[in-house]
Structure 1
Amino acid sequence: MELVTHNPVDGVYPATGDYVHAVEVRGAPRMLFISGTMGLDPAGRPGATLTEQLELVWDNIRAILASAGMTVDNIVRQTSYLRDVAYAEENAAARVAALGGRAIPTTAIVVQTLEKDWLIELEIVAAG
């Protein structure tokens, strides 16, 4: 599988260092679409803080990826659903850390989650 980053500098605003405008996936025999995943522990309880929920959500995503024989290196797209705009910076930092600094296309949206204790929900696309 080959990943080709597309970050045009003409005709579009510049991407920042923590995301790219587009990633082209070439030669990937498989695509994995992960449902919105929350920062819940194995018993279904949300972490008490945003930091805890971000740790849990990335643990959950790694477990889901592993079930498909993939790792975070296979992630090619992320959509974040945040309960509060104030969560954006910590969410971005958690993504950068989880991906080891690798930039991918991302979108962050501020929403009302289905449960008031769910502070973050991540939707992932992986290829490999």
Structure 2
Amino acid sequence: MQLVPHGPTEGVYSATDDYVHAMEVRGAERLLFVAGTMGLDPSGTPGTTLAEQLDLLWSNIRAILAAAGMTVDNIVRLTSYLRDASYAEANAVARVAALNGRVVPTTAIVAETLVSDWLVEIEVIAAG
């Protein structure tokens, strides 16, 4: 599989250093669509802080990907749902760290989560 990032510089605003406008996937045999995943521990209890929830969230995503024989290197698209806009920077830092600096198309949306203790939810698309 080959990933080809596309970041046009004319006719559209510039992407920041932590994402790319589009990712072309060539030669993928499988696509994995991961439901919104929260920062919950194995008992279903949310972390008590945003940092703890982000750690749990990425641990959960890695476990889900591993169950499909994939890793975070297979992520080709990511959407974050933040309970508060003030979480955007911490979410971006956690995402960049989790992806080892690799950029993918990403969107962050401020939304009311189903449970007020869920501070962030992330869904991903992975290809392999």
TM-score range relative to shorter protein: over 0.9
1:68-88: CA deviation from partner (whole Å, max 9, x where unpaired) = 000000000100000000000
The letter for the 2-side match of 1:90 is A
- What residue in structure 2 maps to residue 122 of structure 1? 122
1:13-60: CA deviation from partner (whole Å, max 9, x where unpaired) = 000100000000000000000000000000000000000000000000
Give the alignment's TM-score, normalised by structure 2. 1.00
RMSD: 0.3
Structure 1 distance, partners of 2:13, 2:123, is 24
The letter for the 1-side match of 2:31 is M
The letter for the 2-side match of 1:33 is F
Aligned pair count reads 128
The runs of at least 4 consecutive aligned structure 1 residues that moved more than 4 Å come to none
Q: Establish whether residue 31 from structure 1 lines up as the match of residue 53 from structure 2.
A: no
- What residue in structure 1 maps to residue 63 of structure 2? 63
Structure 2 distance, partners of 1:27, 1:67, is 21
Structure 2 distance, partners of 1:97, 1:5, is 19
Give the alignment's TM-score, normalised by structure 1. 1.00
Structure 2 distance, partners of 1:4, 1:72, is 16
Alignment identity in percent? Answer: 72
Structure 2 distance, partners of 1:121, 1:23, is 22
- What residue in structure 2 maps to residue 112 of structure 1? 112
**Aligned 1:1-128 pairs, distance under 5 A:** 1-128=1-128
Any unmatched runs of 5+ in structure 2? none
